[in-house]
Amino acid sequence: MCASYGLDPRFTDAELLAEADEAVLEGLRSWAEANAGETLRPTGKNLRNLNPLVTASEGVPTLEPAWWGYLVDGAPARFPSINTRSERLQDRPGGLRNRAIVPTTGWFELQKPDRVWHEFGFGRGVLFGMAAVTQRGRTPDGEWTTCYSIVMRPAPPNLAALHDRVPMLVPVGFAADWLTGEPTRDLIDEALLAAASLDERLVAEPRADDRGDGMLF
């Protein structure tokens, strides 16, 4: 399960969109700087953070703030909703109707039973994207917002000893397909193949906790 991730404003290598959208990248950097390097966590009863999300507005990548986890009847869902299994989307591709990309510079997982934190990614300074599915929800304050759930898939062999699942990453060349493709079983199958092409590049670094490298605090 992915329950926390980072967005370091010092990113220099952006592997998010095939055609670098300067407005999106600058918006991400500004947001991350204002966030002061804080780890991004699910939105909920006490933590009302809205995290940056890349969606497609009329086919054009757009940055918008979004609630991590689903809202049902004006309250956080009572079922687990911050993550969605890729297998579920294969069985029920209707869940693919609305999709987004979550920008990050690394996600965190706790290795059990050793209880050692690791940060996963492509190395310091690399911005990349995690696949997400979205839906609209009404907040406890009565406002409508976009809600997102990060798509998780089985971990590749080189990372399985640390955690059994990883976010389904979106390669640069597949970003447009993920944001605008038809919501079918073929799309999720192609997305899984695209994500697997990045497996050998993924690295995991031990951390004291899930607060990142401590350089921004």
Nearest by Cα to 76 from 130, 149, 151, 2: 149
Instruction: Count the neighbouring beta carbons within 10 Å of the beta carbon of residue 79.
Output: 7
Please tell me the distance from the alpha carbon of residue 65 to that of residue 57, in angstroms, as a whole number.
Answer: 14
Token pair recorded at residue 43: 């939105």
The pTM (predicted TM-score) of the whole model is 0.95
Please tell me the distance from the alpha carbon of residue 136 to that of residue 105, in angstroms, as a whole number.
Answer: 26
Instruction: Please count the helices (runs of H) and the strands (runs of E) in the chain.
Output: 4, 14
pLDDT, residue 183, reads: 96
In a structure prediction context, what are the per-residue pLDDT tens digits for the chain, which is 217 residues long?
899 999 999 998 888 987 767 889 999 999 999 998 899 999 986 777 899 999 998 888 999 999 999 999 999 999 999 999 999 999 999 999 999 999 999 999 998 888 899 999 999 889 999 999 999 999 988 999 999 999 999 999 999 999 999 999 999 999 999 999 999 999 999 999 999 999 999 999 999 999 865 443 2
Nearest by Cα to 67 from 47, 55, 51, 82: 51
pLDDT, residue 212, reads: 67
pLDDT, residue 35, reads: 93
Q: Residue 99 has what DSSP assignment? A: E
Q: Tell me the HSE value of 74 on the side-chain side, using a 13 A CA sphere.
A: 4
Instruction: Count the neighbouring beta carbons within 10 Å of the beta carbon of residue 22.
Output: 8
pLDDT, residue 122, reads: 95
11 in Cβ contact with 105 (< 8 Å): yes
The bridge status of strand 106-111 relative to strand 126-138 is unpaired
